[in-house]
Amino acid sequence: MSATLSSVDDQFSANDHRYMARALVLAAHGLYTTDPNPRVGCVLVRDGEVVGEGYHRHAGEAHAEINALTAAGGSARGATAYVTLEPCSHTGRTGPCALALQEARVARVVVAMVDPNPQVSGRGIRLLEEAGIEVSVGLLEVDARALNPGFIARMATQRPFVRMKMAMSLDGRTAMGSGESQWITGPEARAQVQRLRARSSAILSGVESVIMDDSRLTVRAEQLGLDNAADIASRQPLRVIVDSRLRLPLAAACLRAPGRTLVVTTSREAEKHERLIDAGAEVQVLSADAQGRVDLSVLLEWLAANEDVNELLVETGATLAGAMLSAGLIDEMQLFVAPTLLGGDARPLFTLSGLTQMADQQRLTIHDMRAVGQDWRIIASPVVTGTSDDTKVP
């Protein structure tokens, strides 16, 4: 696939690459704020001059193309539009961008990638072409897809993109035997985690971890280190607690924190439901797996369909982490490794059963490894069983 995309990129000029690269930079400005919409940027160029540019800021507000057209005014006529995602062709909370580009009389539209939603994919491109506008597709598609892994996953697979974050010692431990875990990593790594939370639609944790850590699972503006931190933190990701037997304490910090807390369970005990709801939670009953626990595959599908969850950040302990890994539900891992040792009695990273031979090992593909303060961050994805180094990353 990468070779095909590379050959597509070669069909475009150096200027095409430059302006699409700028559109991608603009799209990234919406990394923390557009959810559940995709991050999109647009640049309008006429006679070698940028006449307008824009990006999508918040769901329900103007799309990238509209912001760029507004900035360009009459100069958009005869211009080339560089857009990181196929212009929409439907009327939702805003009007169709393909029609706006047509009415502005742009001469050419360069699209990084088609809309991943199979129900609308290609419609915006067809509308533009039927209006006599030249359309080119596929420039820097790999980069465009990397901006929106969650939106692509939700549209294409009806599941979120699942990213698991874990902090560990050099000997692969996440907490002392007592459960004490604050802090293994340094402030720079913790700031990175805050940004992972901020870009996510929801944060998933198991009830054991919540009981042990009593974490709020929130985005904290003061720890983000970003200029628009207050705006970012105003949208708290949904907190999802997997609690099959409804053991979450009513005094848990996450129930008093800003934003929503959803408790997912297999229990139908109405009295426990009512107590949790009175304490500030929402409760959702889902089907059980063979062990009587919440079926994690069903949970992911439910979150995508009912909560529009694009990116799901998993912050949990060894049991739930191991269950998700064993079920093949993890798309990406971000492992923060601290220069410390916690010893053999400390808690492990994963609980994985059935690994008795080297042939059973779960291999990972490492995509990036770099220093973050005094710690190391490893970005990896599980190797899918039966392949050499293929991954589940969209």
Binding site feature residues for Zn(2+): 63, 88, 97
Q: Which residues are annotated as a binding site?
A: 63, 88, 97, 167, 181, 183, 197, 213, 217, 220, 244, 315, 317-323
Calpha distance 368→146 (Å, rounded): 14
Name the DSSP class of 179. S
Q: What H or E segment, with its residue span, contains residue 346?
A: none
Q: Which residues are annotated as a binding site for NADP(+)?
A: 213, 244, 317-323
49 is catalytic: no
146 — alpha (psi -120 to 50), left (phi > 0) or beta?
alpha
C-beta of residue 306 within 8 angstroms of C-beta of residue 154: no
Calpha distance 226→192 (Å, rounded): 11
Q: Which residues are annotated as a binding site for substrate?
A: 167, 181, 183, 197, 217, 220, 315
From the candidates 53, 61, 65, 180, which is the catalytic residue? 65
Distances (CA, A) of 326 to 71, 245, 374: 50, 22, 31
Q: What H or E segment, with its residue span, contains residue 27?
A: helix 14-28
Q: Edge-to-edge strands of the sheet including 238-242?
A: 282-285, 261-265, 238-242, 202-206, 311-314, 161-169, 332-338, 375-382, 364-372
Distances (CA, A) of 193 to 197, 217, 314: 6, 11, 11
C-beta of residue 274 within 8 angstroms of C-beta of residue 263: no
List, by residue number, the catalytic residues: 65
